[in-house]
Structure 1
Amino acid sequence: MMGPVLAACLLIILSTAWISQANGATCKKDGGVCTCNDQTKNVDCSSKGLTAIPSNIPADTDRLDLQSNKLSSLPRTAFYGLSKLTYLTLSNNQLQTLPAGVFDELKNLETLWLKTATSSGLSHEECLTAYLSSHISAWSQNKLQSLPHGVFDELTELKTLHLNNNQLRRVPEGAFNFLEKLTRLQLYGNPWDCSCNDILYLSKWIREKEGKVNGIESATCVNKKAVLEITEEEAAEDCVYPNTTTAIPTTIITTLASSNDDDIPELPVPQENFQKFLGYQEPDHLPTQPQCLMSISGYLGLMMSLVLTSAAILYVIHFLKKA
């Protein structure tokens, strides 16, 4: 009778493994990579070499630490279901832009870190200590080049926002208009382009909030002049950035519409430049390569679990018939 007992145990173990595989464990206690504290509702996924955000982060998480990983992009639904978050850090990753609506679910968020670590002003020994203590690699740094319109609009409870040491040249019109509770905003370490009239919104906003929001006065242009001091005369140019959709001149559209295909000359425009001209961005609903690999491995694991579970069931039936 030991045969059926062993088979039943095997069935239970395989079923548990299948459930774990299907749920995609996040916390170490369940076989995941992150450290989860049930009492404080903290989830620490920092310095894990992650290329994608772990699935199934507990819905009641209050603080989520994703700093010092290798996140190069985020899906638009990255934080859906995490409405109780009050603290989120994505510092020291490889992010260059953010998808529109990525923070819309975070209605209770109070602190958001999107900065890059910097060793400016530290001695050699201090830099080495900082490197060893934080496990930040030289290639793991956010270099945000742009922000989508309305990316912060839903963060009405936000009090602290760190955007320092990125590659931001401008922010969209109205970027901070809904952050009524904001008390600290770090903007330094960005190459703010003060020759373009797009900077006038930020300049005016800083002047209005000076003394009310800490840290904003430190924003400086590439020529070292303070952003808050920029005038309309200085920022007179209409600049076009890679992520800004530019309308195609109507004369070109008319010409193309009235011409035969054989008459249209082939223009030697490099694909990369053409994409920049159109403000091309990869669709945020397509999975990144690491996410594809994770999905494939998940399906393979699931299929293997099903095969083994079926074998265990047949094994139990076989011994029951003999008994």
Structure 2
Amino acid sequence: MAATSGKESWLGGAGLMALGVLVLCCSSVSPCPQRCTCHPLSVQAMSGADCAGKSLKVIPRARGGEKHLQVVDLSGNRLRSLPDDAFSAFPSLKYLFLSDNMIQVVEEYAFRGVPDLEVVYLSENGLITLPPALFDDCVVLRKVVLRGNPLLRLRPPAPPSRPVAFSSLDGASSPPQLPPFISSQSLQELDLSSCAVDFIPDEAFSALPNLKKLNLSSNPLTEVDPRPLGSLCSLNTLDLSGNPIRCGCSTGRLSRWLRERHVETARALTCTRPHSDDMITVDEKEEEKMSRVYSPPCDMTLLKEDKFYAACQARLAEAEELKRRAVENKKTWIGVGSAVAAAVVLVLLVVWIFRKRTQKKRLKEERAARLAAKEKNKLDQQPLRDDADG
């Protein structure tokens, strides 16, 4: 009986030791931010940290090994601001969820250190503005969701007041150009629905050459001129549903711009007539009617928009050219490296062959010398044998 209890106690101790080692190994292999739960995800075999609904007031402190995390969910917390380098502890981060917090301030370098970031959800927060260069370090960013923030007029933070010399091409002075709302060379989808946007500055989207989907639904926009959209030369989908757009020249121009640029809308473009609640669908026939009804007649030309469009295409062409040159330079360096490597290998081969031949020649000479010495010894010993015989 005593032997049995001793055996059970030994097994229990061994089991506890094994469990302790297992816990230690797991904690050292995949540490997790404080108050979060980390687990592998079935989608694309990514690893994620679930920090949602934890009443967090600051970004959870890292424990030193979160470099492998690709998905971090911080939605439903009490975050009020995003400081510089807020996510630098997660250099592999691809998907970030920050919805339903109280974020009002985002510092300019909040997303520095996460170059692989692809998707950001910042919906249902208290953002009034964003730094234009916020996502400059996120070179593969493709989707940003800002739904439900009081962004109002999509204006960036006011620059410091100082005199600025500015002159247009024709020499006439004009006010300085505002920076864009946000800038990104890679962004493809932007959701600004329910953001209380009532005005879109001309420069708002001027730094988004690859944007394909723009959602401006459920805002109080009464007028949408195509001028702010002119620089979106990659745009293929625009959602303006749920806006109280009034019929007028700008609406007619917008309809023509959408048709000429082959941009699809979530719903047919509609507007309400002046002094009336009648809603009409704006089509090509209605555009023609608008150009004649209003006094003075609407100017339906899209010259300025064409200039913006051409500038956007030029930026895309420049980016493609830089990419092409980078590929060519890489190929050139690979070719040069290959040639140098081949030359080194050839030199080493020649040296090896020369050493082999030298070694072979030396061995041959040594063998010949040994044979000569042997023959000489034989000759030296031959007369002695003759004398002995005599």
Greater helix proportion: 2
From the CA coordinates, give the structure whose radius of gyration is larger: 2
Greater strand proportion: 2
| Greater relative contact order (Cα < 8 A, sep 6+) | 1
Task: Please report the TM-score for the alignment, with normalisation by the length of structure 1.
Answer: 0.50
